[in-house]
Amino acid sequence: MTPARLRLGVNIDHVATIRNARGGSHPDPVRAARQAAEAGADGITAHLREDRRHISDDDIRRLRREISVPLNLEMAATAEMRAIALAHRPHAVCLVPERRQERTTEGGLDVAGQQEFLRPFVAELAAAGIRVSLFVEPARLQIEAAQAVGAAVVELHTGAYCHSDQAARPAQLERLVTAAADAERVGLECHAGHGLSFDTVGPVAAIPTIVELNIGHFLIGEAIFSGLDSAIKRMRSLMDRVRSAGSGIRIA
Ligand code: PXP
């Protein structure tokens, strides 16, 4: 079986982080989104956090109006965020856990522990035509729960794999491989992301049933040295090379 083409979603949150360091409007994350799409991004991801530390409400409004590729809105499962999603109707919403003190999204959503709450939340977004994804640890319990609450997609948290040392990495990759198989078995589309870089993307891209990677911090950081266009094109080509080789899973 030829694996599906692997989509690249570029997360532009940290363009907004730099803008917000000084206030004002430069650098503009919407301009970055446009340039990312021109460089080969299949979609744009933006996380509207409750504390608005990077992306703002106005960024979401402008992203919806001004970019032509699908928008994936990451958000916490709160009433405020649900109202914003329903007002803007992005192509997709990815529900993530959020703690105010964290530097970034540190773990996956505990779907199994809040099924009663999440089921109607997911249903309301889905009824508005929004594709709902749940950001989870690569664990069978969470993937089966995601299917049970009616999500269309799971996004596997790749943080533990990316941040592990060389000795521990094969075991972390194996967790992702197993989780992707679990997602396929229960009929969920499978995405992955968090912490991916040029060095870590290959083995994840080689998992044939993963159809989308969402990558942000590394690309925006790399853009300082090589430009956004070049960073995205290189990531795209690393992903495509692994996929077209069709050589199965390589351990980093
Ligand atoms: N996917 C999800 C659900 C995330 O929360 C994030 C971080 O905002 C990413 C992907 C991208 O992670 P990174 O910025 O580390 O590439």
28 is a domain residue:
yes
Q: What is the pLDDT at residue 2?
A: 62
Task: Report yes or no on 80 lying in a domain.
Answer: yes
pLDDT value at 251 more than 50 = no
State the distance from the centre of ligand 1 to the C-alpha of 123, rounded, in angstroms: 24
- Listed in sequence order, the residues at least 6 apart from 214 whose beta carbon sits closer than 8 Å to its beta carbon are 9, 10, 11, 45, 72, 94, 155, 191, 192, 193, 194
Residue from 189, 194, 212, 222 carrying the catalytic annotation = 194
**Which CATH number characterizes residue 39's domain?**
3.20.20.70
Predicted TM-score (pTM) of the model is 0.95
Structure confidence at residue 148 (pLDDT) = 98
Q: How far are the Cα atoms of 26, 46, 53, 225 from residue 104, in angstroms, in the given order? A: 22, 13, 11, 23
CA of 159 to the centre of ligand 1 (A): 9
Q: Give yes or no for residue 193 CB within 6 A of ligand 1.
A: yes
Torsion angle (degrees, nearest 10) of CA 122, 101, 90, 146: -30
Q: Supply the residue whose CA is at minimum distance from atom 9 of ligand 1.
A: 194
Residue 251 lies in a domain: no
Is 118 among the domain residues? yes
In this prediction, residue 250 has a pLDDT band, given cuts at 50, 70 and 90, of very low
Catalytic residue among 74, 155, 189, 212: 74
Pocket test of ligand 1: the residue of 14, 51, 72, 74 to mutate, having most ligand atoms within 8 Å of its CB, is 74
Mutation to probe ligand 1, out of 7, 8, 10, 11 (largest number of atoms < 8 A from CB): 11
Question: Does 38 qualify as catalytic in the annotation?
Answer: no
Residue 249 lies in a domain: no
Q: How many CB atoms lie within 10 A of CB 52?
A: 12
Percent of the chain with pLDDT over 90: 90
Percent of the chain with pLDDT over 70: 94
Out of 2-16, 84-98, 108-122, 138-152, pick the least confident.
Answer: 2-16
Per-residue pLDDT averaged across 165-176, rounded?
A: 97
Say yes or no to pLDDT of 68 above 80. Answer: yes
Q: Which pLDDT does position 106 carry in this prediction?
A: 73
| pLDDT tens digits, one per residue of 81-128 | 999 999 999 999 999 998 766 677 678 999 999 999 999 999 999 999
In a domain, 60, yes or no: yes
Distance between Cα 188 and ligand 1 center (Å): 20
Contact 157, 194 (CB under 8 A): yes
248 belongs to a structural domain: no
Nearest to 75 by CA among 115, 31, 36, 133: 133
In this predicted structure, the answer to whether residue 246 has a pLDDT above a threshold of 80 is no
Residue 47 Cα to ligand 1 middle (Å): 8
- Cβ(121) – ligand 1 distance below 6 Å: no
What pLDDT sits at residue 1?
Answer: 58
- Structural domain contains residue 225: yes
| Containing structural domain, residue 226 | 7-243
In angstroms, what is the span from residue 187 Cα to ligand 1's centroid?
23
User: If you average pLDDT over every residue of the chain, what do you get?
Assistant: 95
Give the per-residue pLDDT at 244. Answer: 87
Q: What's the domain count of the chain? A: 1
Mean pLDDT to the nearest integer, 241-246: 86
137 in contact with ligand 1, CB cutoff 6 A:
no
C-alpha distances in Å from residue 76, one per residue of 110, 224, 229: 12, 29, 30
Query: Partners of 153 in the beta sheet?
Result: 133, 189
